[in-house]
């Protein structure tokens, strides 16, 4: 069964600190992996996308990595800001026709002053 597992479930860090969120998946074969940011009360917004042949992608202070061999991805946030407080969702697109996207449950990040 296609699954995406994220850890930790929640995380609290001080403003200015770095953090890393983890995503393990069993989707195979897969087309691409995205990280979404979801602010409270809003819809998810894409941060990064990586195909199976890419192993890193940056978007400002966000850097995603992908190891297709071990089926693991991580999202590293540098110099966190209060506005980074949100849920971060790992999403994998299977490489098979109309198979739906597989969503992780998300990691809830709280950045405090």
What residue ranges bind another protein (CB under 8 A)?
Answer: 4, 31-32, 34, 41-46, 49, 51, 89, 98, 100-106
**Tokens linked to 57:** 């992608």
26: left (phi over 0), alpha (psi -120 to 50) or beta: alpha
Identity of the residue, 15 or 49, whose beta carbon is nearer to another protein in the bound complex: 49
Do residues 5 and 104 make contact, with C-beta atoms less than 8 angstroms apart? Answer: yes
Q: In angstroms, what is the minimal distance from the CB of 100 to another protein?
A: 5
Closest approach of another protein to the CB of residue 15, in Å: 27
Q: Other CB atoms closer than 10 Å to residue 109's CB: what's the count?
A: 21
Q: Report residue 65 as tokens.
A: 């990595």
- Tell the smallest beta-carbon distance from residue 101 to another protein (Å): 7
Q: In this complex, which beta carbon is closest to another protein, that of residue 13 or of residue 101?
A: 101
CB atoms within 10 A of CB 60: 8
Q: Give 45 or 79: the residue with its C-beta nearer to another protein.
A: 45
**Closer to another protein by Cβ: residue 1 or 60:** 1
Q: Least CB distance from residue 46 to another protein, whole Å?
A: 5
Q: Which two tokens stand for residue 80?
A: 């966190």
């Amino acid at each position: 069964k296609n699954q995406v597992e994220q850890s930790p479930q929640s995380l609290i860090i001080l403003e200015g600190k770095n953090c890393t969120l983890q995503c393990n998946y069993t989707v195979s074969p897969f087309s691409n992996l995205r990280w979404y940011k979801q602010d409270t009360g809003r819809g998810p917004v894409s941060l990064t996308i990586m195909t199976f042949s890419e192993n890193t992608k940056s978007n400002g202070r966000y850097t995603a990595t992908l190891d297709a061999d071990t089926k693991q991805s991580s999202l590293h946030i540098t110099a966190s800001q209060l506005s980074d407080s949100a849920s971060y969702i790992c999403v994998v697109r299977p490489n098979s026709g109309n198979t739906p996207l597989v969503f992780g449950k998300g990691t809830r990040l709280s950045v405090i002053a």
